[in-house]
């Protein structure tokens, strides 16, 4: 008898994330010399990352989601059977029957069969173009069906439902979400948080229908399907995705006669053993203490326990932290511990609600106010990491716990310094990695986040701890005198400046191409908008091309600024603040005809507030026909060039500031940058245009123009620096060209010119050497790049109006082009304004669906 046949045979049924993690533990722990391991997976593909499944719609790259390779399994000596299912377990003979007709003897079985999507058994649920959202094959089918569809509905408003809705939205479908509960994500958010979440989702153009039970699905009149609800209201759509929860894949356990839970799931003990000591269960199929855990972190912990059980270790499963940090359609949602405050009698609550910014935060604290029991965040997850550490590590709360969720005057959410965390603090819940383990890893030679991730697996599960992991690693490296990496994120081992250089030099025009050639993974909410900004700065391409749209934020996506009530403001360009009487009349007529609120802005433009999504193209058409164009108020771009009347009218003016302001605005109006840019041009030193508080300021002198750079107002005002004096107009424009392109090349993401100059090595003197002295021999190149930006300018409103596919984005509801009846205006000072919640409750009409 050979040594191999004497090895106990462990069969892992299921090759999902949890099953694969168990296999990794076998390999990394050196246990494959003691066991013979077979892995059986129903799908033809090897284990892949279901947490980031939605990113497959953007990349189309299944390999990027793969957690391993067939070759790796072979090198480990693991027998991998893909595209095969186990049909029965004979516990007496310890034999598995397989779908291909073969059988397999086992000594131990680990059930890692996961779960399946629940589809409500309503009539019509199995019609063509009705899908679930679970596997890559499901996503391929949805993508194919979307090519001939215009509308899509997701049944289920939980986490996966909103992910599915985002996928349909990115496939350019008019999307709706139907939820049985009275709010979206009822497990994660309460009633107040649900209101904020709904508003933010609706503002992205997704229709939300709550308290809706679908009774049946039948033939539609204008679309493929008609969904009939409990109140006989209907909704028509071409495509339906069911995401109404999950159920454990426990049919094998039932067939084998194992002890089951009343509502499904195979019962396990603290060692992950089922009622048969030779059969273990982990992940979503396992029922521990009457609970099934639907997150990856508990599954990973179970995998470690199962391995310990097989190797006679002492590890036990005692439950898991179910805290989650999510970003759904760009909307932050966080839930920590007892977020609803229902598990701890006597707990005290703190709530913060900002309806204007659409942010909601809640703390659940112990009766004595010293311990954090739970937290809930909607709209801003920057508070999450700090709150999670207070919760996980039992840290005593400050004397005023509410300070942890109140907005800060500077720098965003309050941060709990990593030096305040004990070595036992859990940083990564998925892989149970402590701060101490990270420190030990660095002591052993890890030189950055990638090394720590490779060694500890931290941040490779759900990814929610990535920011905290980087903070800990950076802090420890700096403490050792090591220079910290400036990589923009884990997907690109480059700074923003490096990526800008790569894009420009290599001629890269899409995020997908940049990621494939210089990155890894699928990208994130840090690198995507940063790369979008870089591409726009370098190539000035239409931002709503399909390859660019996923990189944009909400305002850029709709080419207008979203307001608190879900309507939009429209700002046409009024170069230099100069406008004809007929132009004023036209703006007044448009505001009157569309019932818009009008406001003169601080940048000498007219802002039209209150347009609904479907009205945007109509208003743009009227404006463009009258000779107006987009003012780019929605973009990280040149916004305005403010001017005084200058020498044409003013008795103090020494230069024609209006003409220069108009020329500058038309020259730079197409420039996208790391952040917004504002100009000011004053006709004399009396400074009526407030040029010295602008990113680019110009003040007339008797001998020409003085140029100021890097000023801004806002939360941290900064006076602009005098850069050069008595310039002629041609030299002035040359210097501005060079300054702006050099800023776009070298600034960090979302960095205003004021912060840029403060952080620029050498500061103002260095900038003068680059721009005026041309010390880097870049002058002509910087000017040439600006010339390309000027040449390639396009009015994005006009481009959109000429693009039928792009216009599909601008509908309020799926089935019609009517205005949103939930938008209610009331008169005030002779103009409309958004109704307050109380006023809206009195006036809002019943929505007919």
Domain harbouring 134, CATH code: 3.50.50.60
Q: What angle do CA 819, 825, 830 make, to 5 degrees?
A: 130
The string of pLDDT tens digits covering residues 202-216 is: 887 889 999 999 999
Q: For residue 269, tell me if it sits in a domain.
A: yes
**Would you tell me how many other CB atoms lie within 10 Å of the CB of residue 90?**
14
Count of the separate structural domains present in the chain: 7
**Would you tell me how many other CB atoms lie within 10 Å of the CB of residue 111?**
31
On the question of pLDDT at 848 being above 70, the answer is no
Residues 218 and 238 in one domain: yes
Residues 433 and 559 in one domain: no
Question: Comparing 52-56, 165-169, 775-779, which segment has the lowest mean pLDDT?
Answer: 52-56
Q: For residue 121, tell me if it sits in a domain.
A: no
Average pLDDT for 423-449: 83
Of 579, 607, 604, the C-alpha closest to 591 is 607
Q: For residue 835, tell me if it sits in a domain.
A: no
The secondary structure of 191-212 as a DSSP string is HHHHHHHHHHHHHTT-EEE-S-
Q: How far is 598 from 580, CA to CA, in rounded Å?
A: 17
On the question of pLDDT at 376 being above 50, the answer is yes
User: At residue 413, what are phi and psi to the nearest 5 degrees?
Assistant: -65, 150
Confidence of residue 813 (pLDDT cuts 50, 70, 90): low
Domain containing 749 — which CATH number?
3.30.413.10
Q: How far is 688 from 593, CA to CA, in rounded Å?
A: 34
Q: Are 251 and 42 in contact (CB under 8 A)?
A: no
Handedness of CA 93, 97, 103, 104 (dihedral sign): negative
The string of pLDDT tens digits covering residues 157-176 is: 988 888 889 889 888 889 99
Q: How far is 607 from 233, CA to CA, in rounded Å?
A: 38
Domain containing 587 — which CATH number?
3.90.480.10
Look at residue 339 in the predicted model and tell me its pLDDT. 92
- Please identify, among 266, 284, 310, the residue that sits at the C-terminal boundary of a domain: 310
- Please identify, among 191, 219, 244, the residue that sits at the C-terminal boundary of a domain: 244
Residues 479 and 500 in one domain: no
Of 709, 754, 556, 711, the C-alpha closest to 636 is 556
Residues 783 and 660 in one domain: yes
Look at residue 825 in the predicted model and tell me its pLDDT. 84
Return the bridge partners of 828, or none: 831
Look at residue 817 in the predicted model and tell me its pLDDT. 59
Residues 18 and 65 in one domain: yes
C-alpha dist (Å) from residue 103 to 1, 90, 99, 600, 665: 21, 10, 9, 78, 75
Residues 540 and 647 in one domain: no
The secondary structure of 498-551 as a DSSP string is HHHHHHHHHT---HHHHHHHHB-SS--TTHHHHHHHHHHHHH---TTSTTTGGG
Residues 102 and 21 in one domain: yes
Domain containing 470 — which CATH number?
1.10.10.1100
The 8-class DSSP code of residue 161 comes to: H
Strands 207-209 and 174-178: parallel
Q: How many CA atoms lie within 13 A of 322 on its CB side?
A: 13
Domain containing 76 equals 3-115+248-310
Q: For residue 827, tell me if it sits in a domain.
A: no
Return the bridge partners of 428, or none: 433
The better pLDDT of the pair 750, 702 is held by 702
On the question of pLDDT at 806 being above 90, the answer is no
Q: For residue 823, tell me if it sits in a domain.
A: no
Q: At what angle do helices 496-506 and 511-518 cross, to 10 degrees?
A: 110
The answer for residues whose C-beta is within 8 angstroms of residue 329's C-beta and 6 or more apart is 162, 165, 166, 169, 201, 204, 206
Q: What share of the chain is helix, strand, coil (3-state, %, to 5)?
A: 35, 20, 45
Residues 562 and 456 in one domain: no
Q: How far is 427 from 463, CA to CA, in rounded Å?
A: 11
Residues 201 and 228 in one domain: yes
Residues 470 and 518 in one domain: no
Handedness of CA 144, 233, 358, 598 (dihedral sign): positive
Look at residue 54 in the predicted model and tell me its pLDDT. 78
Q: Are 736 and 696 in contact (CB under 8 A)?
A: yes
The secondary structure of 296-310 as a DSSP string is HHHHHHHHHHHHHHH
Give the ranges where 242-383 is alpha helix by DSSP (H).
251-255, 296-310
**Would you tell me how many other CB atoms lie within 10 Å of the CB of residue 384?**
26
Average pLDDT for 69-82: 93
- Please identify, among 196, 223, 244, the residue that sits at the C-terminal boundary of a domain: 244
Q: How far is 40 from 100, CA to CA, in rounded Å?
A: 12
Residues 640 and 751 in one domain: yes
On the question of pLDDT at 366 being above 80, the answer is yes
Q: For residue 838, tell me if it sits in a domain.
A: no
Of 59, 70, 63, 27, the C-alpha closest to 48 is 63
Q: For residue 720, tell me if it sits in a domain.
A: yes
User: At residue 235, what are phi and psi to the nearest 5 degrees?
Assistant: -145, 125
Q: How many CA atoms lie within 13 A of 442 on its CB side?
A: 21
Q: Are 20 and 47 in contact (CB under 8 A)?
A: yes
Q: What angle do CA 174, 175, 179 make, to 5 degrees?
A: 160
Residues 711 and 629 in one domain: no
Q: For residue 836, tell me if it sits in a domain.
A: no
Confidence of residue 823 (pLDDT cuts 50, 70, 90): confident
Q: How far is 753 from 735, CA to CA, in rounded Å?
A: 15
Q: How far is 616 from 32, CA to CA, in rounded Å?
A: 63
The string of pLDDT tens digits covering residues 105-139 is: 999 999 999 999 999 989 999 999 999 999 999 99
Look at residue 547 in the predicted model and tell me its pLDDT. 87
């Amino acid at each position: 008898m050979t040594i191999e046949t004497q090895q106990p045979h462990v069969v892992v049924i299921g090759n999902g994330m949890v099953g694969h993690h168990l296999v990794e533990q076998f390999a990394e722990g050196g246990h494959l010399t003691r066991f013979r391991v077979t892995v059986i997976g129903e799908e033809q593909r090897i284990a892949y990352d279901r947490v980031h499944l939605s990113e497959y719609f953007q990349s189309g790259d299944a390999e990027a989601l793969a957690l391993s390779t067939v070759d790796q399994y072979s090198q480990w000596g693991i027998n991998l059977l893909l595209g095969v299912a186990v049909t029965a377990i004979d516990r007496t003979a310890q034999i598995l029957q397989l779908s291909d007709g073969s059988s397999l003897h086992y000594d131990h079985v680990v059930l890692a069969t996961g779960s399946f999507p629940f589809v409500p058994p309503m009539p019509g649920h199995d019609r063509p173009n009705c899908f679930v959202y679970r596997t890559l094959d499901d996503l391929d089918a949805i993508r194919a069906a979307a090519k001939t569809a215009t509308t899509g509905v997701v049944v289920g408003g939980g986490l996966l439902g909103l992910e599915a809705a985002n996928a349909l939205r990115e496939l350019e479908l008019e999307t709706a979400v139907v939820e049985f509960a009275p709010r979206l994500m009822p497990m994660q958010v309460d009633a107040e948080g649900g209101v904020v979440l709904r508003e933010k989702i609706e503002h992205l153009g997704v229709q939300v229908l709550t308290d809706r039970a679908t009774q049946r699905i039948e033939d539609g009149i204008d679309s493929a399907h008609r969904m009939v609800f409990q109140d006989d209201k209907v909704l028509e759509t071409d495509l339906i995705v069911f995401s109404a929860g999950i159920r454990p894949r426990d049919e094998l356990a039932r067939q084998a006669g194992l002890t089951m839970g009343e509502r499904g799931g195979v019962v396990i003990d603290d060692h992950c053993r089922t009622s048969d000591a030779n059969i273990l269960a982990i992940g979503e199929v396992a029922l521990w203490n009457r609970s099934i855990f639907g997150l990856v972190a508990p599954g990973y912990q179970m995998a470690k326990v199962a391995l310990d059980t097989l190797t006679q270790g002492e590890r036990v499963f005692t439950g898991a932290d179910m805290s989650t940090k999510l970003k759904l359609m760009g909307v932050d949602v966080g839930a920590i511990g007892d977020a609803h405050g229902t598990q701890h009698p006597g707990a005290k609550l703190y709530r913060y609600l900002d309806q204007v910014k659409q942010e909601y935060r809640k703390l659940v604290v112990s009766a004595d106010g010293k311990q954090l029991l739970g937290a809930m965040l909607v709209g801003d997850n920057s508070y999450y990491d700090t709150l999670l550490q207070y919760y996980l590590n039992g840290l005593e709360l400050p004397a005023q716990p509410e300070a942890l969720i109140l907005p800060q005057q500077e720098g965003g959410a309050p941060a709990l310094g990593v030096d305040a965390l004990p070595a036992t603090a859990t940083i990564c819940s998925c892989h149970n990695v402590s701060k101490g383990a990270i420190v030990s890893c660095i002591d052993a030679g890890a030189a950055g986040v990638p090394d720590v991730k490779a060694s500890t697996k931290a941040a490779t599960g759900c990814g929610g701890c990535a920011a905290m992991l980087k903070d800990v690693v950076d802090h420890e490296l700096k403490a050792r005198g090591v220079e910290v990496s400036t990589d923009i994120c884990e997907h690109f081992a480059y700074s923003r400046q490096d990526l800008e250089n790569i894009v420009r030099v290599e001629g890269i025009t899409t995020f997908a191409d940049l990621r494939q050639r210089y990155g890894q993974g699928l990208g994130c909410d840090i690198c995507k908008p940063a790369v979008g900004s870089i591409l726009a700065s370098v190539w000035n391409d239409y931002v709503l091309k399909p390859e660019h749209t996923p990189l944009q934020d909400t305002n850029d996506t709709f080419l207008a600024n979203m307001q608190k009530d879900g309507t939009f403001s429209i700002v046409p360009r009024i170069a230099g603040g100069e406008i004809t009487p007929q132009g004023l009349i036209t703006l007044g007529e448009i505001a009157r005809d569309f019932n818009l609120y009008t406001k003169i802005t601080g940048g000498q433009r007219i802002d039209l507030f209150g347009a609904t999504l479907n009205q945007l193209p109509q208003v743009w058409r009227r404006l463009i026909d009258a000779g107006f164009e987009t003012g780019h108020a929605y973009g990280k771009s040149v916004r305005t060039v403010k001017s005084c009347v200058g020498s044409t009218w003013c008795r103090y003016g020494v230069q024609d500031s209006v003409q220069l302001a108009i020329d500058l605005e038309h020259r730079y109006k197409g420039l996208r940058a790391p952040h917004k840019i504002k100009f000011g041009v004053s006709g004399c030193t009396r400074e009526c245009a407030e040029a010295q508080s602008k990113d680019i300021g110009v003040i007339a002198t008797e001998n020409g123009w003085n140029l100021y750079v890097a000023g801004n107002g806002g939360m941290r005002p900064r006076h602009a620096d005098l850069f050069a004096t008595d310039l002629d107009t041609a030299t002035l424009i040359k210097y501005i060209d060079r300054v702006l392109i050099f800023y776009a090349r070298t600034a960090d993401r979302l960095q205003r010119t004021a912060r840029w100059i403060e952080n620029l090595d050498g500061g103002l003197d260095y900038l003068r050497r680059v721009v005026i002295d041309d010390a880097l021999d870049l002058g002509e190149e910087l000017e040439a790049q600006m010339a390309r930006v000027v040449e390639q300018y396009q009015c994005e409103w006009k481009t959109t109006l000429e693009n039928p596919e792009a216009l599909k984005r601008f509908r309020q509801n799926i089935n019609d082009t009517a205005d949103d009846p939930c938008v209610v205006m009331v008169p005030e000072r002779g103009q409309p304004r958004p109704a307050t919640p109380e006023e809206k409750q009195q006036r809002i009409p019943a929505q007919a669906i």
